Amino acid sequence: MIHILVIDDDPVMRSLLKSFLSLRKFKVDCVMTASDAIRVLLSNNVNIVITDLKIPGIDSVQLIRSITSTKPGVKVITMSGDTSFDRLPQDIKTTTPFIPKPFKLQEIEKLINTITHI
């Protein structure tokens, strides 16, 4: 079973993604902060991280690099309601799929299926 970690400070977004992805038979954990995300990553076999680019307490570039260096096999999907993606370094933009908010839940499912080859 594919294990997905959702990182977003918006409780509605966390709840929507958890409900939707769980119904599609993914194991889903949701956290609000980067420190909680790192804790979950270190103690679980997470396959995919879906993260907002604006997380309290940490720069999104630092978070993404921390995830990819700690767990190199984990795929990262970024999402944001603004133009944060444009400001990311080129190496992250070319390796990290981005989905702008708001999005249809089916769009995130399609992106997950693409990166996991389902």
Cα–Cα distances in Å, from 43 out to 3, 25, 38, 91, 93? 12, 21, 9, 27, 27
**31 located within any domain:** yes
Question: Cα(first)–Cα(last) distance of the chain, in Å?
Answer: 12
Q: Return the SS3 of 26.
A: coil
85 band by pLDDT with thresholds 50, 70 and 90: confident
Evaluate if residue 118 carries a pLDDT over 80: no
**Residue 23 within any structural domain of the chain:** yes
Q: What is the pLDDT of residues 29-79, one digit of tens each?
A: 999 999 999 999 999 999 999 999 988 878 888 999 999 998 999 999 999
Task: Please give the full DSSP string across 46-111, using - where no structure is assigned.
Answer: --EEEEES-BTTB-HHHHHHHHHHH-TT-EEEEEESSSGGGGS-HHHHHHS-EEESS--HHHHHHH
Residue 23: CATH number of its domain: 3.40.50.2300
Q: pLDDT class for 25, splitting at 50, 70, 90?
A: very high
**Does residue 26 lie in a domain region?**
yes
Domain count, the chain: 1
Q: How far apart are CA 40 and CA 98, in angstroms?
A: 22
Task: Decide if pLDDT at 28 tops 90.
Answer: yes
Domain for residue 117, yes or no?
no
d(CA 98, CA 87): 12
Is 115 a domain residue?
A: no
Work out the mean pLDDT of the chain and round it to a whole number.
92
Structure tokens at 52: 């907002």
Domain ranges, residue 49: 3-109
Q: What is the mean pLDDT of residues 2-14?
A: 97
pTM for the model: 0.94
How many other CB atoms sit within 10 Å of the CB of residue 75? Answer: 21
Indicate whether 14 belongs to any domain: yes
Q: Is 95 among the domain residues?
A: yes
